[in-house]
Amino acid sequence: MGNPVGSFIWYELMTGDADAAAAFYGSVVGWKIGANVMPDAGMDYRMIERIDGGGAGCGYSGGVLALTDEMIGGGAKPGWLGYIHVPDVDAEVAAIVAEGGGVHMPATTMEGVGRMAMVTDPLGGAFYLMTPQPPEDDPDATSDVFTVDKPQTIRWNELVTPNDDAAVAFYTKHFGWTQEGAMPMGELGDYRFIQNEGVGIGAVMKKADFMPVAGWAYYIGVDDIDRALAAVKDGGGKAMGDPQQIPGGEYTVHAFDPQGAYFGLVGPKAG
């Protein structure tokens, strides 16, 4: 695959109501979430399509997994998860477990998609490992579900963790990331920027008591932060404060969707 090792190559929304999620994110982000593409596998899985006129690369921003009663009974909750590209899923699972991480879904191969496993870092942050299977006619296919500047893609990956030093050490060791630069936040400590192959992909910070969620949060690019935030509220979501300006002039805000999945938005003020 054309993406560097350590890249985020897919994002997945787990939700208790895929139809409601399609309506909500369609309004907020502009995505189109289609029909179930895996009925023969006994699951409800839908693709998140970008409809911004781009369509470069895969033309998707991720997928939606409808949680079954059995999954919910086993502890699954609505939320967003990222997939990190690794050359050998099984070897990486073993290395993570050896360091105190956990396995939520054992390594599994899905024909035409690749091999994957859901794990947690030693501090509890959940994510997927994936060795993708590129199309036969395009062995160098590149995922573009993450960009640094485009709407309707994930633009920032943020880890809130009980121990930022340990988290930085873990992820830089396992995925080849670097940690260069930080933004001081007073009593909250430093907001520490992380890079993959020289590209800024996100940040790591220590969790404060008032923060509602620990683990990975993903910021979705929007065309207008005020329009998107109004759509969150109109659609039954819950905004976590007002948009805050970030270096470069754009704005971010956190929110919960109506089913309880936590996410961020990033974009300009169009007005």
pLDDT, tens digit, 9 for 90 and up, residues 149-185: 999 999 999 999 999 999 999 999 999 999 999 999 9
pLDDT at 15 over 90: yes
Q: Which of 63, 46, 14, 31 is nearest to 228 (CA)?
A: 31
Mean pLDDT, rounded, for 15-34: 96
Q: How confident is the model at residue 21 (pLDDT cuts 50, 70, 90)?
A: very high
Separation CA 13–CA 127 (nearest Å) = 12
Average pLDDT, the chain: 93
Mean pLDDT, rounded, for 41-68: 80
Give the pLDDT confidence score for residue 52 in this predicted structure. 61
pTM metric for this prediction: 0.94
Separation CA 30–CA 59 (nearest Å) = 13
Half-sphere exposure of 230 (CA within 13 A, CB side): 6
178-183 contacts, C-beta under 8 A, 24 or more apart? 179/204, 183/247
pLDDT at 56 over 80: no
Q: How confident is the model at residue 57 (pLDDT cuts 50, 70, 90)?
A: very low
CA pseudo-torsion sign 227, 232, 234, 238: negative
Is 157 exposed, middle or buried, given 0-12, 13-18 or 19+ CB atoms closer than 10 A?
Answer: buried
pLDDT tens digits, one per residue of 116-142: 999 999 999 999 999 998 777 777 788
pLDDT at 113 over 50: yes
Give the pLDDT confidence score for residue 98 in this predicted structure. 97
Which residue's entry shows tokens 């030093």?
165
